């Protein structure tokens, strides 16, 4: 039994002596990918971006963030 495989665009960086150019199939695949990426930007996209930025900020300054959080908790506990 012979099974026909679905051919998908092959991304190759080799031009084999010719001018490097994209094929229509590659451009169609890229267009589909970009359409999918634009469609994935839902209502919570801005919130996810903010969470990623805050995570990057906190992770890169973990010790300082921990010290500031300790001071804030200490001040709040002293006031109450």
- Note the pLDDT tens digit of each residue in 15-65: 676 777 777 888 898 888 888 887 777 778 888 889 999 898 888 888 988
How far apart are alpha carbons 76 and 80 in whole angstroms? 6
Torsion on CA atoms 48, 54, 59, 61, rounded to nearest 10: 170
* Closest-CA residue to 59 (of 51, 47, 49): 51
pLDDT average, residue stretch 8-15: 62
Please tell me the predicted confidence (pLDDT) of residue 26. 85
> Does position 4 have pLDDT exceeding 80, yes or no?
no
Please tell me the predicted confidence (pLDDT) of residue 78. 93
Please tell me the predicted confidence (pLDDT) of residue 77. 94
* Closest-CA residue to 49 (of 41, 61, 60): 41
Site of tokens 């990918």: 33
């Amino acid at each position: 039994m012979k099974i026909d495989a679905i051919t998908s665009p092959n991304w190759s960086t080799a031009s084999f002596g010719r001018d490097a150019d994209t094929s229509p199939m590659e451009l169609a695949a890229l267009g589909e990918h970009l359409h999918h990426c634009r469609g994935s930007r839902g209502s919570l996209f801005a919130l996810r971006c903010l969470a990623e930025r805050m995570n990057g900020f906190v992770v890169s300054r973990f010790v300082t963030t921990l010290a500031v959080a300790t001071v804030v908790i200490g001040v709040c506990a002293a006031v109450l």
